[in-house]
Chains A and B, each alone.
Chain A
Amino acid sequence: MTATEMTSETSSGIQMPKPDQAILARREEIVSALKAIVPGEGVVDNETEMRPFETDGFLAYRFMPLAVVLPETTEQIAQVLKYLAQEGVPVIPRGAGTSLSGGAIPQEDAVIVGLSRMIKILDTNYENRTLTVQAGATNLSISDAVASDGFFYAPDPSSQLACSIGGNIGMNSGGAHCLKYGVTTNNLLGVKMVLIDGTVVEIGGEHLDAPGLDLLGIICGSEGQLGIVTEATVRLIAKPAGARPVMFGFDTSEDAGACVADIIGTGIVPVAIEFMDKPAIDICEAFAKAGYPMDVNALLIVEVEGSDEEMDDMLARIVTIAKRHKVKVVKESQSATEAALIWKGRKSAFGATGRIADYICMDGTVPLGQLPHVLNETARIVESYGLRVANVFHAGDGNMHPLILYNINDPIEAQKAEDCGMDLLKLCVDAGGCLTGEHGVGIEKRDLMLYQYTQEDLDQQMAVRAAFDPEWILNPSKVFPFEARGNERPATGNA
């Protein structure tokens, strides 16, 4: 079998560059060079075993890689990058492969560099409240490691059980509790990163801000296009005295949306304000049996934390606001188990949706005042496509996650779902928001970047990117639309 025979079937909308035939022709040579750097089972190169790497959490799109390499050390990654850059072979960094925007989806002439074997916690420093970890470790493994000492790592994407800290850095991931604690970039203190030529650099450190240009700020959210982060130093936060999720049920999504805007507008910042509409409540209750109120059409999960007095005070103020917005049910969790179930249901919402349909999960962000309007419009747009939607999202941040339900085995419906998704993202931009809150651009939103930005804006972003990776080796098909790249920025492989 030759490499050129390995093609992937996929739905049509998003284009990938034509693979570089010269690279495909040199596949064997490239694979044996990689095997010399990473021995044992560290290189995956036969078609059967590479197949499971053809997609990530955005599984409507699938493209086979040239090879997969799973290094165990920063040194190996440095050698791999140096070699591949020299040979002009595109590189796709991959953490846990949970991206919802296709951030880890490969292309046929690219080598996946996976970090799943680099999961060690290297240093825990309670005095400085920092922890250093290899980039393949899961987000939750950090909090698990320090929980018994009363600490946690704040950003908590719903996939925190499985997603890697390296992937979080690539996408600047958020999560339910980011309303109070900020997203990845606010909790990241330093990284060890391998540059495209194999140089290993350390940026930031065990302190909140470093002198000079804020490179860490550029790296966080760069979607694997500036280098491969192999270690991260993150901020640890002391657990609060107590935390209580409280459920507020409403008759309409508009009421719930307006209530969120009002809470934040009053200057109250709870730890989290999460929104679920009726379909989402049904889905999550079926999985988690958390006791969500079933007789409402919209639900807010508001978490407050602190001492009992602090929580009582904040809750009382929130209840007063909620009453102005015709809240129907206010239900406090009665025990730690119940609180855990409320969050388990919320955090499993995407996967649990798989019980009733295939879905694509969108990720636009809107100004809070626009929530009622955007929710209304979302319902109208989805209905116009003859599809169904479940809304479950970080309301406090205005970070929308409409889940468009469809049947992936029906090509016409799949196309409709994709078109519908694009319309929803445009709706967010039109409402004064942006294309992505926390899932990144990946390939999913790449072609909408010109809807959000002008060519001049993108030129500046691409100039920064090129400063790190002038030949566009790293994750080359992501983030920037091909039509915005111009001649000197390859969009069709290196051919």
Chain B
Amino acid sequence: MQTNFSLAQLADPGVAEAEKILRSCVHCGFCTATCPTYVTLGNELDSPRGRIYLMKDMLENDRPADEDTVKHIDRCLSCLSCMTTCPSGVHYMHLVDHARVHIEETYKRPFINRMTRNMLTRILPYRDRFAFATRLSVLGKPFASLFDKVTPLKPIAAMLRLAPSKIYGKTEFTSPGSFKPEKQTQGRVTILTGCAQPALDAGINKATIELLNRVGVEVVLPEGEGCCGALVHHMGKEHQALESAKNNVRIWHEEIEKNGLDAIIVTTSGCGTTIKDYGFMLRNDAEWAERAAKVSSLAMDISEYLVLKELPAPNDTGEMVIAYHAACSLQHGQQVKSPPKDLLKAAGFKVKEAPESHLCCGSAGTYNIMQPEIAGQLRERKVKNIESTKPQAIAAGNIGCLTQIGSGTDIPTVHTIKLLNWAYGGEKPEELSNIL
């Protein structure tokens, strides 16, 4: 589409990139059809095409973000379904990331909204703080419906409702060290141990390490790795996001240089999308660009890595019927579509795919906290679609989806890797203990 930026504006590399992206959009409208918020709200302003137009107008006129634009950008899940649909190759993710930084820099949010966002950015990325806050929130759970009565406080209610009753502390699978396979090593990887994930489900890292060891892959957890930065990145807090990125790039790159890594394995696909984007995020920083690009090039979802490995014959898991839920960050953000399903099938599970599998479940990082009403509608739609396949359990490769979907159904939700580890000799996931 036509753009109208001055040369001075285009001197800013962020604006130049945004302009390039806008130029590739032909306004065909295909993206509207697969956007979860457009199919829910039916307003072009809550569709990718509408948001692209809003962002274009804001950026071209170098205007501070306004309440209306922010409302519609905030409603975007960043599920990136639009990028899968777009025939023109519009890089919506980089555009909306840029717009969110602009919003953060130029818009003063209402007090409670600002406080809630700040609270989330100070707690969620830190494993210990997250575990502590979650334990505390159990006390607040009974009061959730009170917070629901005041619109700006709805996120607090959503947060309390999402807080799990069980929280995991430190385990050997999150502490620095090396896990060597019994037999000869066929590869050496690190895994992102994560911030919120191990507190919500310590079994994911455990299953990942066990299975990788079993297929002859050494797993090393270097000291100092932290949150990937996705959470603050999606809030437009660029400085904080880049600090997180640099920290991990430094730690992992040192490990690559020192002992070599075949891959940086990610088991939370939301994080995977961001780590794969480190190279882009730090592209203009001469000190970091090369190392970040190297790290991004090694980042792989666990399913992408495993599908390349030779796996032994699976144990009999009773042909359990599994609905595979494709996390948006995996299917759209990373375009990893078939590996998780192929792995589950090869492991002996009966894999079902629900209708409308391209639509987000509403989890989307902190979306189900900040936009509880839309998230709730999307969860309901997702659960209905999944339940129509009559599965015994629901598998996904992202802890956010597992929590979100799990809060809306009685069918157990379980990380794909835990099913695979079970099929290849590990213990049966505790979530499935009631299924024979």
Chain A interface (Cβ < 8 Å from any Cβ of B): 9, 41, 44, 46, 48-49, 51-53, 55-57, 59-60, 70, 96-98, 114, 116-119, 136, 138, 140, 159, 161-163, 287, 348-355, 358-359, 408-409
Contact = CB atoms under 8 A, between A and B. Distances in A.
Interface in B81-98: 85-90
Interface stretch (B37-45, B233-241, B307-315, B403-411): B37-45
Given A51-B53, A159-B30, A162-B33, A351 B86 contact: yes
A352 B44 CA distance: 22
B172 interface: no
A348 B87 contact: yes
Contacts of B53: 51-52
B42 A98 contact: no
Interface in B32-82: 32-34, 38-39, 41-45, 49-50, 53-54, 57, 66, 68-69, 72
B26 interface: yes
Given A70-B43, A97-B44, A116-B44, A358 B87 contact: no
Most buried by B among A55, A140, A162, A358: A162
Most buried by B among A116, A136, A140, A353: A116
Contacts of B41: 41, 117
B84 to A, nearest CB: 12
A359 B34 contact: no
A48 B86 contact: no
B88 A354 contact: yes
Contact of B68 (A46, A136, A352): A46
Nearest to B31: A162
Interface string B20-36: 00011111111111100
Contacts of A9: 4
B251 interface: no
Contacts of B28: 57, 98, 159, 162, 350-351, 354
Contacts of A51: 53-54, 57
Contact of A96 (B32, B34, B45, B88): B32
A353 B26 contact: yes
Contacts of B23: 409
B1 interface: yes
Nearest to B25: A354
B6 interface: no
A358 B24 CA distance: 8
Given A52-B54, A96-B33, A409-B3, 8 more contacts: A48-B54, A51-B57, A55-B27, A97-B29, A98-B29, A119-B42, A287-B87, A358-B1
15 contacts: A44-B45, A49-B68, A51-B54, A52-B45, A55-B27, A59-B27, A116-B38, A118-B42, A140-B33, A161-B33, A161-B85, A351-B28, A352-B88, A358-B1, A409-B23
Instruction: Across the A-B interface, give the 8 residue pairs with the lowest CB-CB distance, nearest first.
Output: A351-B87, A354-B88, A117-B42, A348-B87, A52-B53, A354-B26, A162-B33, A59-B27
Interface residues on B, range: 35 or more
B88 A408 contact: no
Interface of B: 1-4, 23-34, 38-39, 41-45, 49-50, 53-54, 57, 66, 68-69, 72, 85-90
Most buried by A among B24, B33, B54, B69: B33
B177 to A, nearest CB: 43
Given A51-B54, A98-B28, A162-B30, A351 B44 contact: no
Given A48-B68, A49-B68, A162-B33, A350 B26 contact: yes
A424 to B, nearest CB: 19
B87 A354 contact: yes
Nearest to A351: B87
Contact of B42 (A55, A136, A159, A355): A136
Given A52-B53, A354-B87, A409 B2 contact: yes
A59 B422 CA distance: 54
A185 to B, nearest CB: 23
B405 to A, nearest CB: 22
B30 A59 contact: no
Given A52-B53, A352-B87, A116 B42 contact: yes
B29 A96 contact: yes
Nearest to B2: A408
Contact of B44 (A52, A348, A358): A52
Contacts of B87: 287, 348-352, 354-355
A46 B86 CA distance: 28
Nearest to A136: B42
Contact of B88 (A56, A114, A351): A351
Nearest to B90: A354
Contacts of A136: 42
B124 to A, nearest CB: 30
A70 B26 contact: no
A44 B26 CA distance: 24
Nearest to B69: A48
B353 to A, nearest CB: 13
Most buried by A among B3, B30, B54: B30
A48 B66 contact: yes
Contacts of A55: 27
Nearest to B57: A51
Contacts of B90: 354
Nearest to B86: A351
Contacts of B29: 56-57, 96-98, 159, 162-163
B298 to A, nearest CB: 25
Nearest to A116: B42
A116 B33 contact: no
Contact of B1 (A46, A59, A138, A159): A59
Contacts of A49: 45, 54, 68, 72
A161 B30 contact: yes
B422 to A, nearest CB: 30
B27 A57 contact: yes
